[in-house]
Amino acid sequence: MDESSRVKLLSLQRMEATEAEVYRRLARMQSNPVNRSILEGIALEEERHEAVIERMTGEKVKADMGKVRRQVMLARLFGFTFSVKMMEATEQDAAAEYRELGLHEIADEEEAHEENMIGMLDEERLRYSGSVVLGMSDALVELTGALAGLTFALQDLRLVALAGLITGIAAAFSMGASEYLSSRAEKKSESAVKAAFFTWISYLITVFLLVSPYLLLSADSPDYQGLEPHVQALLGTFLIGLLIVAVFNFYVSVVEEVSFSSRFLEMAGILGVVSLISYAIGILLRGALGIEV
């Protein structure tokens, strides 16, 4: 074979060795025997691909331990399904390379066989992703809008933070209770208690993140480019909201294999529109009620 093909094969061989090691480690992390068996099966498949390429190159390669540790860390933080899907996305490019090198059988297995096996994985946190979406999206829209209205109605960092926390914490318990009753009424296969918990905790975490700028800044903070501290806090809240939307939609786009940009733009647009409407309502109500601050 020519040198160019040999270099490509060695790169693919290293990729297979790396992914085999990742799948072995993910399998050892599983308490669910079905998931463990599936991941071990994928690891064996990757090892077989590596062995086929090794016979062609005549060289042994070692796994990229940096990538292995990175994928295992992602699995611990975001779940093993996220980690596996991230690797699966890179393998689609590898399948095209295999076909260029004439290894069509391996390419077919990379595209179909392993994808089918990955589809059999069952991760508990994904079964409650709807509850997380419910809690997070409601908190983002409702509290960002409320904080925008309160900011221009009260113009006091501590008062806005107090009102936001009271509103947000009460709403978190309300949303959790509503999700529990909804799950019970619809007789979903998921645990109603766990669904309620995921809704509550995602709402509550989002509340504290959105209110944090009002707690970190003070009335004595210097104006920044002509913006008063309460306006800075609102902008900080909006930026945090956009960051939450971006991170969560990236996670969903990987796990569910959907478009990141369309989901992000939709949620960001809703966030912006609600904030602007609430801002206007805050100004109008302050004038209508004759409140001077």
Q: Where are the domains of the chain?
A: 3-122, 126-288
Q: b/e for 257-290, b at 16 or more Cβ within 10 A?
A: eeeeeebbeebbebbeebbeebbeebeeebeeee
Model confidence band, residue 207 (pLDDT cutoffs 50, 70, 90): very high
pLDDT attached to residue 229: 83
Residue 197 amino acid letter: F
Name residue 227's beta-bridge partners. 224
Q: In 3-state terms, what secondary structure has residue 227?
A: strand
Q: Give the range among 1-15, 58-72, 78-92, 148-162 with minimum mean pLDDT.
A: 78-92
Tokens for 170, please give them: 């009460």
Tokens for 90, please give them: 């890179």
pLDDT attached to residue 208: 94
Q: Model-level pTM greater than 0.85?
A: no
pLDDT attached to residue 166: 92
Across the range 64-79, mean pLDDT stands at: 88
pLDDT attached to residue 262: 80
Tens of pLDDT, residue by residue over 40-65, are: 888 898 899 999 999 998 899 999 99
Tokens for 171, please give them: 């709403």
Model confidence band, residue 126 (pLDDT cutoffs 50, 70, 90): low
Across the range 174-185, mean pLDDT stands at: 84
Model confidence band, residue 32 (pLDDT cutoffs 50, 70, 90): confident
Q: How many other C-beta atoms are found inside a 10 Å radius of the C-beta of residue 182?
A: 16
